[in-house]
């Protein structure tokens, strides 16, 4: 589904990704772990097309399409979703309006007619239940006045609404208490299917107690330096990252 080869990317002239390669197939859950500053969030930004980053080398293909040729909104409409580490507030724009625009853009991209009001409201209700989202939140402006946990929950709610093929969760666990973490993880698990894939970017193994990865990758200094099964996450939790750094530098 997603094939990244020898990816190099800069921000403000500074190279952050230095030859990263990764292949993700449908039905898989990949966890990407690594110390601060290793390039985890940069990877999600580059896949989704954040304009602050410049790709200098390498390729990203998504279901055979050259992703780097597409604008950010086209990548989204191809089915790539990013759950932001820091979701922004958009004052005055109601969640209902925002979601309806997003859904209709996606449908337009697929040459489908706009969603009817009743279907849309039904969809909203269904997905709100899935992520145990309070109606009070969906009646407000996008993320305005939401707590940290509510913002993260709102990201998963949007993911449920848009049903992406590839979901990237960027540090979705940070700032969540244990109940919110459980709700968010349940949402992600319920949305899992053999047809879609998930990338979980995280510092801690904690989230992986709830979302079981098929593969765990360690990102260090802009490259994936070690890959393994879910036991790798446990080992990282127990031993920290220093032994990885030593292995790389040896």
Partner 1 sequence: MSDAIIHEVTQSEYKYGFTTDIETEVIPVGINEEVVRIISAKKNEPEWMLEFRLKAFRHWQTLKMPTWANLTIPEIDYQSISYFAAPRKNAPKSLDEVDPELLKTFDRLGIPLEEQKALSGIAVDAVMDSVSVKTTFKETLAEMGIIFCSFSEAVEHHPDLVQKYMASVVPYTDNFFAALNSAVFSDGSFVYIPKGVRCPMELSTYFRINAVNTGQFERTLIVADDDSYVSYLEGCTAPQRDENQLHAAIVEIIAMKNAQVKYSTVQNWYPGDKNGKGGIYNFVTKRGICKGDGSHISWTQVETGSAITWKYPSCVLQGDNSSAEFYSVAVTNNHQQADTGTKMIHLGKNTSSHILSKGISAGVSHNSYRGLVRVGAKAENARNFSQCDSLLLGDKCGAHTFPYMEVNNETAVVEHEATTSKISEDQIFYCNQRGISTEDAVGLIVNGYAKEVVDKLPMEFAVEAQKLLQITLEGSVG
Q: By the criterion CB under 8 A, which residues form the site for partner 1? A: 48-52, 71-73, 76-77, 81-82, 84, 87-88, 90-94, 97-98, 101-102, 105-106, 109, 141, 158, 162
Q: Which two three-digit tokens encode residue 199?
A: 């990338």
CB of 81 to partner 1, least distance (A): 8
**Residue 86 or residue 243: which is nearer to partner 1 going by CB?**
86
Q: Which two three-digit tokens encode residue 231?
A: 């036991």
Half-sphere exposure of 167 (CA within 13 A, CB side): 29
**Residue 80 or residue 218: which is nearer to partner 1 going by CB?**
80
CB of 71 to partner 1, least distance (A): 7
**Tokens 């039905």 sit at which residue?**
27
CB of 84 to partner 1, least distance (A): 7
Pairing of strands 2-11, 14-24: antiparallel
| Residue 31 CA, distance from chain mean position | 11
CB of 247 to partner 1, least distance (A): 35
**Residue 7 or residue 82: which is nearer to partner 1 going by CB?**
82
CB neighbours (10 Å) of residue 148? 14
**Residue 91 or residue 113: which is nearer to partner 1 going by CB?**
91
Q: What share of the chain is helix, strand, coil (3-state, %, to 5)?
A: 40, 30, 30
């Amino acid at each position: 589904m997603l094939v990244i080869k020898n990816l190099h990317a800069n921000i403000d002239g500074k190279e952050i990704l230095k030859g990263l390669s990764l292949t993700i197939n449908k039905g898989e859950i990949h966890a990407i772990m690594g110390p601060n500053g290793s390039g985890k969030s940069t990877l999600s930004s580059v896949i989704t097309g954040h304009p602050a980053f410049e790709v200098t080398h390498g390729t990203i293909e998504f279901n055979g399409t050259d992703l780097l040729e597409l604008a950010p909104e086209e990548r989204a409409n191809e089915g790539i979703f990013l759950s932001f580490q820091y979701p922004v507030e958009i004052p005055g724009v109601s969640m209902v309006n925002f979601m309806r625009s997003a859904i209709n853009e996606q449908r337009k991209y697929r040459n489908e007619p706009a969603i009817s009001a009743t279907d849309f409201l039904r969809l909203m209700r269904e997905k709100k239940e899935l992520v145990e989202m309070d109606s009070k939140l969906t009646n407000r402006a996008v993320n305005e006045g939401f707590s940290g946990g509510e913002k993260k929950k709102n990201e998963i709610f949007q993911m449920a609404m848009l049903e992406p093929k590839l979901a990237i969760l960027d540090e979705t666990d940070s700032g969540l208490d244990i109940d919110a973490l459980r709700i968010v993880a349940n949402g992600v698990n319920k949305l899992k299917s053999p047809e879609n894939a998930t990338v979980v970017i995280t510092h801690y193994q904690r989230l992986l107690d709830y979302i079981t990865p098929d593969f765990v990758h360690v990102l260090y200094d802009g490259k994936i330096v070690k890959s393994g099964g879910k036991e790798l996450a446990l080992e990282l939790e127990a031993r920290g990252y220093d032994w990885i750094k030593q292995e790389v530098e040896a």
